[in-house]
Amino acid sequence: MSNSWLNRFLGRNAQTPRACAKERLLGVVIEDRSAIPSSVLELVRKEIVEVVKKYLIIDDQAVDVKLEKDEDGTYALVSHVVSRGVRKNEGIPAA
């Protein structure tokens, strides 16, 4: 998943080349092993964006979706969403 805005947000450019390589490798290797293609993850990501957008103010690039391996060897779909606040709409309960 290329997600340059989020990468910058998370400070990847501040990482060392070694740490960056390791993080990227762990990402692709887990994708290769799970046999869930990144194109599918991208579709999931886009739909999460649509759902979250209904309720929260977010940037399109502020949703990150990735696979992580759990202790028991199963794959977990992990999403990280950066929000700038609640959308003021009908149907959304006020705080």
Partner 1 sequence: MSDDVRVIVITSGKGGVGKTTTTANVGMALAAHGEKVALMDADIGLRNLDLALGLENRIVYDVIDVVEGRARLKQALIRDKRMQNLAMLPAAQTRDKSAVTSTQMKQVVDDLKAEGFTFILIDCPAGIEQGFKNATAGATEAIVVTNPEMASVRDADRIIGLLEAEGLKDPMLIVNRIRVKMVKSQDMLSVEDVQEVLGNSVKLLGVVPDDNSIITSTNRGEPVALLKESISGQAYRNVAQRLLGQQVPFLDLDERNGLFDRFKKLFTSK
Q: Which residues bind partner 1 (CB under 8 A)?
A: 16-19, 21-22, 24-26, 28-29, 32-33
Distances (CA, A) of 92 to 55, 61, 82, 87: 7, 23, 19, 8
Nearer to partner 1, 18 or 88 (CB): 18
Question: For residue 16, what is the enclosing H or E element?
Answer: none
CB of 26 to partner 1, least distance (A): 6
Residue 70 DSSP SS3: coil
Q: Which neighbouring-strand residues pair with 80?
A: 64
Nearer to partner 1, 21 or 86 (CB): 21
Nearer to partner 1, 1 or 26 (CB): 26
